[in-house]
Amino acid sequence: MTWLLPVDRLQPGGDMKYVQNVLLVVGAMALGACAFLLALYCFTEATGFLSHHGPSDLAAAGLAFLFIAGSSLLGALVGLIASVWWIWKHESRRWTIRIWVGAVLGLAMGVVLHFANRLPTVPSLIEAFEPAPAAAALSAALAMLGGLIANFTDWRRQRSAGNKVQSPIQPL
């Protein structure tokens, strides 16, 4: 696990960078798994795949289990590869408060969606996140997504602040 450990771990702020790298890996794996599961869910809803009832219901359930496990593992692997590549290629720096707020809001949204299952009528996609492991993966994925959105909006804000608007009429 030395690839997670930055070279400047002994310098001030090195521990925080290590924690951020671990959170990045966990969040990226959860986001990848949830994205692949969402794609599988959309495919099955659009095509009616695995929803036919008949003499082979047990085989359809087994096939569904294999598709769910395979797509979540493949998505987690893609997330792991992407996060390790990001850590290797980019200089690690401390996250801004905006990124932390985005991650906390995403985490809170995952918890809210988990407890929304106690309502009388919820969509079937929300019902899928009633079990605690599924809710944990969804919360981690939404925290990662919230941090990414906050980072992107912070980058856009800093970029637009650096570009001064020049008036079209300039004195000679």
Who wins on pLDDT, 102 or 165?
A: 102
Q: What is the pLDDT of residue 48?
A: 75
Q: Which helix (H) or strand (E) holds 93?
A: none
Q: What is the pLDDT of residue 124?
A: 76
In 10 A of CB 79, how many CB atoms?
25
Q: What is the pTM of this model?
A: 0.74
- Phi/psi at 124 (nearest 5 deg)? -65, -25
pLDDT tens-digit map of 61-99: 788 888 889 999 999 999 999 999 988 998 877 888 888
Lowest pLDDT segment from 33-42, 132-141, 156-165: 156-165
